[in-house]
């Protein structure tokens, strides 16, 4: 019967104290190189299965490998796995969280910074009310919206006027009345209109859906920021707490803002569409 030598990387799944002990045995000279099953046993390490994989390393390389495996194992233990979130009909024996519950918890917990991107915010005023109170307390809230649903735009509508109409529609029908406004952005291409066979169409849309909270956690999925998508539609997403992923996603959006891929929407008629400090 043929046995398969386990991958060296699987050593990081061993108890941390075993890796630390192996490193100590190597540094003390008790574990000799090149590593063999007998030498592992003599050092008190029950790693016979990995003898072949470890045996190719000279002493210094083996030391660096053990250090790297310790670091890899630490990272693997520290990072929580992505969590599945779900909207729509509940599935028996489901182990996933509901989108509306997760989103409400995230918005209630924000302390410093929130970025939201959604294709639609239809009927979202109630969802946004807790977030609006956070804006008043100093939390920076950036909202990235789509402009394709503005039916009043034409091919010759100036961008400044299109931005004004987008702002008016958002604060009239989406954001809680009288609340401190968020920093509003849009993909300017979604404000363009083209005529095809007598019908005005928007050639581009901003179809991303994500929420980033305090640069620490991100919710990414198919659900728009609407009551229907949060509770009724069949939607799926992932709640991600991996710092590297969250930083990369946030950096992508902030780079898009910096380079004008998405642009500020003025909050007042006398506020020109320019990049805002801290955006």
pLDDT of residue 12: 67
Q: How far apart are CA 250 and CA 58, in angstroms?
A: 42
Rounded distance, CA 88 to CA 82, Å?
A: 20
Look at residue 274 in the predicted model and tell me its pLDDT. 42
Any idea which architecture 83-265 has in CATH? 2-Layer Sandwich (3.30)
Contact 87/116 with Cβ under 8 angstroms? Answer: no
The pLDDT value given to residue 81? 83
Answer whether 164's CB lies under 8 Å from 186's CB: no
pLDDT in the model for residue 276: 42
Every domain of the chain and the residues it spans: 8-78, 83-265
Give the separation between CA 269 and CA 160, rounded to whole angstroms.
10
Cα-to-chain-centroid distance, residue 56: 40
Structure tokens that stand for 225 in this block: 């920021």
How far apart are the C-alpha atoms of 40 and 62, rounded to whole Å? Answer: 13
CA 244, CA 259: separation in Å to the nearest integer?
22
Helix (H) or strand (E) holding 217: strand 217-221
As a whole number of angstroms, the distance between CA 45 and CA 262 comes to: 57
Mean pLDDT per block of 10 residues along the chain (279 residues) reads 57 74 87 89 80 86 85 66 89 84 91 96 91 92 94 89 94 93 96 86 93 96 89 92 91 96 82 44
* Distances, alpha carbon 81 to alpha carbons 84, 158, 212, 242, 243, in Å: 10, 47, 17, 8, 12
Cα 34 from Cα 58, distance rounded (Å): 6
Beta-strand pair 235-240/217-221: antiparallel
């Amino acid at each position: 019967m043929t046995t398969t030598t386990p991958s060296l990387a699987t050593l990081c799944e061993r108890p941390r104290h075993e890796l630390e002990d192996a490193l100590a045995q190597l540094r003390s000279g008790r574990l000799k190189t090149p590593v063999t099953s007998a030498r592992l046993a003599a050092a008190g390490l029950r790693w016979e299965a990995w003898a072949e994989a470890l045996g190719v390393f000279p002493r210094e390389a083996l030391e660096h490998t053990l250090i790297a495996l310790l670091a890899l194992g630490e990272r693997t233990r520290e990072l929580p796995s992505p969590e599945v979130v779900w909207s729509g009909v509940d599935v028996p024996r489901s182990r996933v969280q509901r989108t509306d519950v997760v989103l409400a918890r995230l918005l209630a917990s924000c302390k410093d910074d929130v970025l939201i991107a959604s294709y639609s915010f239809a009927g979202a005023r109630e969802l946004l009310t807790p977030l609006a109170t956070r804006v008043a307390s100093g939390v920076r809230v950036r909202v990235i919206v789509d402009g394709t649903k503005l039916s009043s735009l034409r091919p010759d509508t100036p961008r400044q006027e299109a931005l004004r109409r987008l702002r008016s529609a958002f604060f009239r029908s989406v954001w809680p009345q009288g609340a401190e406004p968020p920093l509003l952005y849009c993909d300017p291409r979604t404000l363009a209109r083209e005529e095809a066979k007598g019908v005005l169409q928007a050639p581009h849309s901003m179809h991303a859906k994500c929420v980033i909270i305090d640069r620490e956690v991100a919710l990414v999925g198919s659900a728009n920021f609407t009551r229907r998508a949060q509770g009724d539609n069949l939607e799926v997403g992932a709640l991600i707490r991996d710092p590297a992923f969250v930083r990369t996603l946030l950096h992508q959006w902030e780079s898009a803002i910096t380079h004008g891929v998405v642009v500020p929407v003025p909050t007042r008629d006398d506020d020109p569409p320019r990049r805002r400090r801290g955006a």
